[in-house]
């Protein structure tokens, strides 16, 4: 019984994940640019939070990152 719990039993041998042919939402270059913009937005919001003396800077950073729309940014990142 312990071996079944530790090794997931026969499920590991029988289960094969299905491969789907889905297209990625963004290309590699667009993903990199979006990630850089997200990082810069988080750094800018953190700097503003410290500079303005906010008590809970995480709320400011979270709101800024939540407000970023990847659809608009990915269109502007086309190469």
Q: Which of 41, 40, 39 is nearest to 64 (CA)?
A: 41
Q: What are 15-74's pLDDT values in tens digits? A: 566 777 788 778 888 889 988 999 999 999 999 999 999 999 999 999 988 888 765 665
For residues 4 and 13, give the distance between their C-alpha atoms in angstroms, rounded to a whole number: 12
Contact assessment for residue 35 and residue 42, using Cβ atoms and an 8 Å cutoff: no
pLDDT at 69: 73
Q: What one-character DSSP code corresponds to residue 8?
A: T
Contact assessment for residue 61 and residue 47, using Cβ atoms and an 8 Å cutoff: no
pTM score: 0.60
pLDDT at 44: 95
């Amino acid at each position: 019984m312990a071996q079944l719990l530790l090794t997931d039993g026969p499920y590991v041998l029988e289960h094969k994940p299905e491969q789907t042919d889905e297209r990625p939402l963004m290309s590699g270059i667009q993903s990199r640019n979006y990630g850089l913009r997200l990082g810069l937005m988080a750094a800018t919001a953190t700097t503003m939070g410290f500079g303005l003396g906010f008590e809970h800077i995480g709320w400011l950073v979270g709101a800024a990152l939540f407000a970023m729309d990847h659809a608009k940014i990915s269109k502007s990142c086309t190469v």
